[in-house]
Amino acid sequence: MKLENYASGKWISGDGEGQALFNAITGEQITTASSKGLDFAEMMNYARKVGGPALRKLTFQERGLMLKALAMHLQSKKELFYTVSWATGATRTDSWVDIEGGIGNLFTYASLRRQFPNETFCLDGDIAKLSKNGTFIGHHICVPKEGVAIHINAFNFPVWGMLEKIAVNLLAGVPAIVKPATVTSFLTEAVVKEIAASKILPDGALQLICGSANGILDHVESQDIVTFTGSASTGMMLKSHPRLIQEAVPFNMEADSLNCCVLGTDAVPGTPEFDIFIKEVQREMTTKAGQKCTAIRRIIVPEKLVEDVQIALGKRLATTIIGDPNVEGVRMGALAGKSQLKEVAEKVMQLAKTQEIVFGDLEKFEVTGADKNKGAFMSPILFLNKDPFKFQDCHNLEAFGPVSTIMPYKTIADAIELAKMGKGSLVCSIITGDDKIAKEFVIGAACMHGRILVLNADCAKESTGHGSPMPLLTHGGPGRAGGGEEMGGKRGVFHYLQRTAIQGSPTTLTNITNNYQYGSKYILNDIHPFKRYFEELVVGETLITAKHKVTLENIEAFAELSGDKFYAHMDANSLDGTIFTGRVAHGYYILSRAAGLFVDAPKGPVLLNYGVDECRFTKPVYPGAEIGVRFTCKEKIEQEKKSDEDIAKGIVKWLVDVYDETGETVAIATILTMVKKKNQD
């Protein structure tokens, strides 16, 4: 039975025999995959004309809730995915990283909706004042691109590789076509089958190609985005496609890299950091049988500790039981397939020409619960390179399996140089209890790495480890790692949005963005805004408050109440050499008194004060000054009900513009209130 491709809303088996796919543990053929006969142009058109419009109609809040529903659905089906994942050679722990790590990305990006407005678009940055009197301003608006995200993924993470990417483009409002590596695409297909069956995503939001996608780039247009994860050679070939260049299509490349782990000079045997280092390196060598783009390939240690590291790491690797992941005690499964095994073995032989194998053997190793000649098994291989500045194959050749090289350094400067000799990586780590060493290394090495993990006894227990990219942090790296960037929280979402500068009057930009721009015309209402429900409030609606005259008695009373007796408020004789001409009111008194002016005391739709943002005190206020407040509805943020019993409500941002008798602003802040909705359904 063939794998099916999900194209234009239908499950389609490709024509012809297709590519045979095998169980990495038993060597038996599982299925075949073919995309022959698929109309890539039609798939692209379906995504643009059906999926894109449906997603763009949804607000960020609705897209986020969609991701949350999808994550919950896939979480309920995870045991099915674990069963299928076994055939990729993965242990339960390996599969957890792939399956639940991928679902975790969906949850994370679902929660990220709270950082976006309840709109189909968002703003980026602050306004730019473009004229003297503020009647002409600029801002940046970000709208979903009207194309399709094409994700070309690697074989090692058939679930995470897909979910970590589509979580971002779906939140942005862009549909995707996913092309997993065919060798493990049977697991990706199982996940997409559940996604499609759930009907949670709009039609056209997600399509799948299990067979070859050769030719799909011929149909890209300027609004599309292409991402690639895999080998640097394949990535460079795709990146140079004439159509990408002609249409100026963004191409994000995440290539395999020669990541390193550095042991600090302070982390000697007997310290917690030394033990952490050995455990971390062993885990990264054996998780997914070393088939991780973030795996540790270069182990950089102080020259005086090389022997200690070699012995300790060798002992730990010797306890790693290789075999069928379903057998109790097995800690490392197989590589993804025989072709992968052959490729890794060839790289090991190349590396062995310039460095010594100190642990492991390509032929002599035990396999538990399986036939090592039928499955794609191999032993961890540990090299020692005594002169890594002279013998540089370890900085240029990557064996994409459980293979790594120990290399010595004399000084931290040498360690930094060795780390950089990988010519760019996704991640490096340093294990040290000395923050001075950590700082020197991070500042010196950061330019060549996408992520740096600093690990010590303080954070080791809760650390996610060297090899785990995190959804809220960028994943990617310079140079050999591809020069790309994905995830990173909001940063990742912006890769799928078109940022456009907009210019006009504050009132016009307020009406376009539904976000109050300072200087916009006020909307006056006879009803106090705190008497109005969330749905009734209008962005730009303003309350002009009564005035309050500040007195010296007010300043002294606030000083007693707050305990803030800073000299500028209390001692007129200490003001020489300052900007003040007399005793000045506390900024927090001005803000507090402003609240007394704009707050409506009786119980109403406002449930609570949620916080204060962007507070500034812009002009000194002296006794005798009269202050008033222009209190304006700035932005409304939807909140969904957490349960049937929960109160339906939203968050309202208010601009608090405090001014004096001259009309000048003396303090400005944004406060947030939680406001009840009239409709409680």
Q: Which residues are catalytic?
A: 254, 293
Q: Which of 455, 489, 494 is nearest to 469 (CA)?
A: 489
Distance CA 535, CA 484 (A): 42
The CA distances from residue 39 to 146, 257, 477, in Å, are 20, 34, 34
State the number of CA atoms in the 13 A half-sphere of 201 facing the CB.
31
Strand intervals (E) in 99-236: 122-123, 128-129, 137-144, 149-152, 176-179, 206-208, 225-230
Burial class of residue 659 in the structure, from the number of CB atoms within 10 Å of its CB (0-12 exposed, 13-18 middle, 19+ buried):
buried
Distance CA 627, CA 16 (A): 80
462 contacts: CB under 8 Å, gap ≥ 6: none
Distance CA 381, CA 606 (A): 64
Distance CA 180, CA 195 (A): 16
Q: Which of 300, 312, 310 is nearest to 271 (CA)?
A: 312
Please provide the DSSP assignment of 543-599 as one string: EEPPPEE--HHHHHHHHHHH----HHHH-GGG-TTSS-SS----HHHHHHHHHHHH-
Residue-level length of the chain = 681
Which DSSP letter does residue 636 get? E
Q: Is 275 left (phi over 0), alpha (psi -120 to 50) or beta?
A: alpha
Which residues partner with 541 through β-bridges? 523
Instruction: Look at the block and give the residue holding tokens 């994000």.
Output: 252
State the number of CA atoms in the 13 A half-sphere of 88 facing the CB.
31
State the number of CA atoms in the 13 A half-sphere of 239 facing the CB.
18
Q: Which of 245, 232, 674 is nearest to 483 (CA)?
A: 232
Distance CA 546, CA 594 (A): 10
Q: How far is CA 51 from the centre of its chain?
A: 23
Q: In three state form, how does the secondary structure of 594-624 look? A: HHHHHCCCCCCCEEEEEEEEEEEECCCCCCC
- Whether the Cβ atoms of residue 67 and residue 38 lie closer than 8 Å to each other: no
Which residues partner with 407 through β-bridges? 300
19 contacts: CB under 8 Å, gap ≥ 6: 32, 33, 34, 182, 211, 212
Q: ∠ CA 420-422-458 to the nearest 5 degrees?
A: 65
Beta-carbon neighbour count of residue 120 at 10 Å?
Answer: 16
Q: Is 206 helix (H, G, I), strand (E, B) or coil?
A: strand
- Whether the Cβ atoms of residue 255 and residue 480 lie closer than 8 Å to each other: yes
| Radius of gyration in angstroms for the set of CA atoms belonging to the chain, rounded to a whole number | 30
Beta-carbon neighbour count of residue 644 at 10 Å?
Answer: 5
